[in-house]
Structure 1
Amino acid sequence: MVLCSLLFEIVSKLRRREFGLDLIAALAMATALWFGQYLAGAIVSVMYAGGHFLEFYAHRRAEGGMTDLLSRVPRSALRINDGEFTEVPIDVIAPGDRLLIRRGDVIPVDGTVDGRTAVVDQSALTGEPLPVRFFQGEVVSSGASNAGDAFDLIASKTAKDSTYAHVLRLVEQAKQSKAPIYRLADRMGLWFLGLTLLVAAAAVALSGDSVRLLAVLVVATPCPLILAVPVALVAGISKAARKGILIKGAGVLEALSTIDIIVFDKTGTLTIGQPMVSAVLGTHEPDALLRLAASAELASAHPLGRAIVKEAQGRHLSLCKPEQAAEVAGEGVEAMIEGRRVLVGGPAFVRSKGIRAQMSGADACASALVCVDEQVFGAICFEDPLRGDAAHAIDDLRKLGIKHISLASGDRLEVAKVIADRLGMDAVEADLSAADKVEIVGRTKALGSVMMVGDGVNDAPALAAANVGLAIARGNLAAAAEAADVVLLQSGLNGVVAALEVARRSKLIALQSVAVGIGLSTVAMAFAAAGLLPPVQGALIQEAIDVAVVLNALRALT
């Protein structure tokens, strides 16, 4: 029965021009029946069926991390409407809906906390084991779970546009992908098939013993080629998913394993992406200058304006409501503060108002000039602090053998160079547009295998141009998932190191499993051809090799 099923499967594959290694198993069973070696044939059939079970088991184990993500999808949520609680499917939740998130519930959609503090377990998304507190108005991602008391959530996105939906789409994409190393295994499989038939024919021709033909066919196991590569790579992807690293398939994992050059973006990648006031320069009293600037910036939504206001509030300065406020997007703001005309902005903005834009010391940092009644009173300097793990991550990348690490930034050269020097980078290029970054990545690819690391938004073209694009999802998973091959759900740069380590180890285990498995099978074939290994014992040895290879490939999970 097993032989008939196998023959049907082989015929189907041949019609699709797939010359699989199942042909060896079919020949072994048919030969056993032909020579009356029924026990050997029975063992081969049992082992073949066991091999399929082994394949199923191995893939289930290897996909464990991804399957866990898929299995956590919430189907419904508790919506609050006029004080009434209604259980509704998550697909009908709309932005603005109020939901009750009970203890243990998986958060169904992205939203903001309303009311009491929320204690949220994000381990399924980021791999971080400790719960995180979210306060009134803070954004919580879907897919996390409530580890504290019940809280209200105001939906900000639909379920299909939320974080967890994008994660699940990436997981499904990863499960369907195949790597180039699969094709190598297929080519080796054809070589192994030819070698098996050649050794079997030679054994019979030289010895005249037809049983040796059966012995060689029985002991020849294609399992290392059929199972080792996919199991090891899928296990690696699954392990990465448990660490909050989403890899878009086995092909990306293999490409990751070859990376030897990394190009980093600066803002939001090496830095936290939140500018802070570092100094207030000028001949006037700093707090007085900061108070005027912050009062004007109350009319602005620019990140630098928010940083000025935050610094003033941190110093407990009393701010005034701006009058006649006007903002030029991305350049500066102008307002009347207590009867005085205040301008805050870059040199070009100040010059456009007919004011000479010059301030000693402001050129050495990212800064905004502050002008009062047509005179430059001072400048406010900003810094975007480095991530706490940036230096450690760069050191770890060096230890992994990355031969060239560079910085490509849209910021001014003076600012970018400070970051690059502090981290010991090999090169820095600044004042770059998105097109410039693509050109740099293309030029660098001539020197090796390049990974671009960015935030997935401004760097999307460069991420796509690199051999591997890795995005750190800073609250915008949709953009990161669209642009990058690898997405870090956690903000730390240590995820870059972990992604490379997982990829290299998984590929090494895959190749090791193939080499050891095929090596052992070849040795067993030699013993069988010499008449030292009877068919029954050969079939048992074949299965032992299969089990050993699969167990070794599953080490990529650990």
Structure 2
Amino acid sequence: MTSQVRGRLNVALVTIALVGLVSGLGLWLVEKSQLADYVWIVGVIPVLAALVVEIVRSLAKGDVGLDIVAALSMSAALFFDETLAAAVVALMYSGGTFLESFAEGRARREMSDLLSRVPRTATRHHNGSLVEVDLEAIVPGDLLLIRQGDIAPVDGTLETDSAILNQSALTGEAMPALLLRDGYVMSGSTNDGEAFDLRATRRAADSTYAGIVRLVEAAQKSKAPMVRLADRYSLLFLAVTVTIATAAWWFTGDPIRAVAVLVVATPCPLILAVPVALVAGMSRAAHFGVLIKGARPLEAMARVKTLILDKTGTLTDGRPRIVSIEAQADLNANEILFFAAALDQASRHPVAQAIVAAAHQQGMALPTPADPIEAPGEGVMGKINGCKVIVGGADFVAGQISGPLLDHPARSESEVIVAIAVDGRLVGHLVMADMLRTGTRGFLSGLRRVGMTRILLATGDRRVVAEAVSEGLDLDHVHAQMTPDQKVRLVLNERESGAVMMVGDGVNDAPALAAADVGVAMGARGTAASAEAADVVLLVDQLDRLLPGLEVAQGARRIALESVVVGIGLSVVGMFAAALGYLSPVQGAILQELIDVAVILNALRALKIVPQDANEHDRNQADPCPS
């Protein structure tokens, strides 16, 4: 049964139960009690039938849940003509199922959405012209045109002199890669430079991106299902209920006492309070920019003790930023930035655009460059205010100016150096890096405070870069140069010690997100693949939003457990009262209603949870990327 069909069925059942109860009460008030009994029976039968079907399915899987108690109470009430009590129980049960279904309705969309990132068609060279063809029609040897901004649809080799590719979603490497002729292009890479020709070496179904999709699907299928919080107490509560009801009937000879016990024992505090608390927690988490795709992920989120973090775009911004400006002539830092940014307006390279953005942030008015000439992936030459300016890699700039090239500043493996020359003289360097997110150190400390005992970094980036970026951070281990399937194996290995949360933003993170007990995606700038595979999406581009999300999840689960303990405790007291003859079935149903109201009101406290870290990001300062 699909989730959509199940949702419609739950709506229909709660509607039938509500209409049946209300209509029967109306007939009973006008003294048409026999007709009221029929109406109540009509309202109960569909709910009971659906419940029995669900119980049979669960038993076939070896699962025993609290649904059995609800089925026993409705069946016994109908058998002994306590139809009003049966109608009340039917409404409470169908209402709880509807709430749980509503929570599950926020779960992840169909896995087919993952494929939306890859184009359905490609542009192929054919007899001197360009034609659009379906991906399935591409065969090894075809020559494809990849325009600027396009995503490579298949694996292949570069047929033009050079190309600038953003592979961060696949490899975790933040800086765009310069590929030369005959270089290997992975499907899923984004063309950040000029258009280029790609010679296909694999079919779409055999390419890198398709392989990652298959990893995600396999990980989701192997993911252990989360057990409903309510069902963890099912066997004990079922045993207690049957024992008390049987004893009441055995010692008194009155079956109505057993019916009353079963009605009071209907586990509405569990069936209602748990989903109410968790749905309220989901709503509260969304207030802090944390979208949790269902009550079960929220419950699992509250129990996580191990966190695995991706690097690029997760622990770091995923975009190059200026770390420092090193002047080597008579120009100051602002003048160096001015010349570099003014000329870089002529380039579409991501590093160039980052330099332009930095100048705009400082309010600089940049003139239009004159006579710009770009060597793709290497640098740009042109004139700014009559001065000849060269911006690019150190080797490129060195080849364009006369005289010795001054030493560029010491750099770490995580940094990129951009050299600037004006009128034939090197005037300075821009040191750029993919920087840690604002408040990263405080975020990691907050994770320890909320109970995270193990924090790991898992990245596809090079080890030297991963170690440079993570230096001084409170991490238990750093895993570098990891492929998507290696990330999945890491998650599965860590799950042997307890629930695992994985946080990532790229296509290469999607399989690990699907395999983890709780997958968290950076939704603001992350890929569609990671967002679809994840259980939780951070709606704002701030990693520290995860802290209030964790606190809300823990608080909602704690409130749900409180409601369970108090509600079941009161139900047990009512069961003994019914067994001793102090409560009739209808009175027992009314008592259960009062208990339900109490536990639901308590569960709604999850809407008022105030995390300690709700405003922590406002107090944090930026952490520079270690050198």
Q: Does 1:44 align with 2:72?
A: no
Matching residue within 554, 566, 570 for 1:516: 566
3-state SS of paired residue (1:325): strand
Matching residue of 1:500: 550
Per the normalisation by structure 2, the TM-score is 0.57
3-state SS of paired residue (2:322): strand
2:495 & 2:426 partners in 1: Cα distance?
46
Partner letter of residue 41 of structure 2?
Answer: L
1:357 and 1:503, CA in 2 relative to 1: closer, same or farther beyond 3 A? farther
1:418 and 1:46, CA in 2 relative to 1: closer, same or farther beyond 3 A? same
Matching residue within 474, 484, 488 for 2:538: 488
Matching residue of 1:403: 453
3-state SS of paired residue (1:180): coil
> Mapping of 1:197-208 within 5 angstroms?
197-208=242-253
> Mapping of 1:21-36 within 5 angstroms?
21-30=69-78, 32-33=80-81
1:367 and 1:207, CA in 2 relative to 1: closer, same or farther beyond 3 A? same
Q: Does 1:325 align with 2:370?
A: no
2:488 & 2:99 partners in 1: Cα distance?
40
User: What whole-Å deviation, never above 9, does each CA across 1:196-241 have from its counterpart, x for those lacking one?
Assistant: 3332222232344555334423432221233233333223223323
CA apart distance, 1:546: 2.5
Q: Does 1:543 align with 2:593?
A: yes
1:22 & 1:31 partners in 2: Cα distance?
14
3-state SS of paired residue (2:370): coil
Matching residue within 267, 271, 281 for 1:222: 267
1:436 and 1:307, CA in 2 relative to 1: closer, same or farther beyond 3 A? farther
3-state SS of paired residue (1:269): helix
Matching residue within 355, 366, 385 for 1:308: 355
1:375 & 1:410 partners in 2: Cα distance?
38
User: What whole-Å deviation, never above 9, does each CA across 1:284-339 have from its counterpart, x for those lacking one?
Assistant: 345576566556534422222223345567566867435442113xxx32546689
User: What whole-Å deviation, never above 9, does each CA across 1:252-272 have from its counterpart, x for those lacking one?
Assistant: 222212221223334433444
CA apart distance, 1:404: 2.2
Partner letter of residue 350 of structure 2?
Answer: P
1:392 and 1:478, CA in 2 relative to 1: closer, same or farther beyond 3 A? same
CA apart distance, 1:374: 11
Contact kept? 1:456, 1:463, Cα under 8 Å: no
CA apart distance, 1:54: 5.9
User: What whole-Å deviation, never above 9, does each CA across 1:443-468 have from its counterpart, x for those lacking one?
Assistant: 54444433222334564344334332
Contact kept? 1:397, 1:497, Cα under 8 Å: yes
CA apart distance, 1:400: 0.4
3-state SS of paired residue (2:519): strand
3-state SS of paired residue (1:275): strand
Say which is worse superposed, 225-234 or 11-20, in terms of deviation: 11-20
1:434 and 1:180, CA in 2 relative to 1: closer, same or farther beyond 3 A? closer
2:592 & 2:357 partners in 1: Cα distance?
69
Matching residue within 181, 184, 190 for 2:227: 181
3-state SS of paired residue (1:552): helix
1:341 and 1:462, CA in 2 relative to 1: closer, same or farther beyond 3 A? farther
1:335 and 1:307, CA in 2 relative to 1: closer, same or farther beyond 3 A? same
1:345 and 1:223, CA in 2 relative to 1: closer, same or farther beyond 3 A? same
1:201 & 1:440 partners in 2: Cα distance?
51
Partner letter of residue 327 of structure 1?
Answer: P
1:346 and 1:453, CA in 2 relative to 1: closer, same or farther beyond 3 A? farther
Matching residue within 362, 366, 383 for 2:415: 366
1:365 and 1:238, CA in 2 relative to 1: closer, same or farther beyond 3 A? closer
3-state SS of paired residue (2:314): coil
Partner letter of residue 10 of structure 1?
Answer: L
Contact kept? 1:265, 1:408, Cα under 8 Å: yes
Partner letter of residue 491 of structure 1?
Answer: D
Matching residue of 1:133: none
Per the normalisation by structure 1, the TM-score is 0.63
Contact kept? 1:463, 1:484, Cα under 8 Å: yes
CA apart distance, 1:357: 11
> Mapping of 1:114-129 within 5 angstroms?
none
Q: Does 1:233 align with 2:282?
A: no
Matching residue of 1:109: none
Matching residue of 2:577: 527
1:14 & 1:52 partners in 2: Cα distance?
13
Partner letter of residue 26 of structure 1?
Answer: M
> Mapping of 1:391-430 within 5 angstroms?
391-409=441-459, 416-417=466-467, 419-421=469-471, 423-429=473-479
CA apart distance, 1:500: 1.3
1:339 and 1:478, CA in 2 relative to 1: closer, same or farther beyond 3 A? same
Contact kept? 2:41, 2:83, Cα under 8 Å: no
2:343 & 2:485 partners in 1: Cα distance?
35
Aligned length: 433
Matching residue of 2:16: none
CA apart distance, 1:402: 0.8
Contact kept? 1:7, 1:26, Cα under 8 Å: no
CA apart distance, 1:487: 1.0
Matching residue of 2:219: none
Matching residue of 2:44: 6
2:319 & 2:46 partners in 1: Cα distance?
63
CA apart distance, 1:494: 3.3
Contact kept? 1:366, 1:381, Cα under 8 Å: yes
Matching residue of 2:33: none
Contact kept? 1:326, 1:333, Cα under 8 Å: yes
> Mapping of 1:329-478 within 5 angstroms?
332-335=378-381, 342=390, 344-345=392-393, 359-363=408-412, 366-370=415-419, 379-409=429-459, 416-417=466-467, 419-421=469-471, 423-429=473-479, 437-438=487-488, 440-457=490-507, 459-475=509-525, 478=528
Contact kept? 2:93, 2:271, Cα under 8 Å: no
Contact kept? 1:10, 1:20, Cα under 8 Å: no
Contact kept? 1:357, 1:376, Cα under 8 Å: yes
Could you tell me which runs of 5 or more consecutive residues in structure 2 were left unpaired when the two chains were aligned: 1-37, 58-66, 107-223, 609-627
2:47 & 2:359 partners in 1: Cα distance?
74
Could you tell me which runs of 5 or more consecutive residues in structure 1 were left unpaired when the two chains were aligned: 34-40, 67-177
Q: Does 1:297 align with 2:352?
A: no
CA RMSD in angstroms, aligned pairs only: 4.4
Partner letter of residue 3 of structure 1?
Answer: I
Partner letter of residue 71 of structure 2?
Answer: L
User: What whole-Å deviation, never above 9, does each CA across 1:124-158 have from its counterpart, x for those lacking one?
Assistant: xxxxxxxxxxxxxxxxxxxxxxxxxxxxxxxxxxx
Say which is worse superposed, 275-284 or 417-426, in terms of deviation: 417-426
CA apart distance, 1:56: 8.7
1:21 & 1:220 partners in 2: Cα distance?
7
Contact kept? 2:285, 2:552, Cα under 8 Å: yes
Aligned-pair identity (%) = 40
Say which is worse superposed, 362-371 or 407-416, in terms of deviation: 407-416
Q: Does 1:261 align with 2:299?
A: no
Partner letter of residue 222 of structure 1?
Answer: P
1:522 and 1:381, CA in 2 relative to 1: closer, same or farther beyond 3 A? same
1:305 and 1:196, CA in 2 relative to 1: closer, same or farther beyond 3 A? same
Partner letter of residue 604 of structure 2?
Answer: L
Partner letter of residue 265 of structure 1?
Answer: D
1:526 & 1:341 partners in 2: Cα distance?
90
Q: Does 1:249 align with 2:298?
A: no
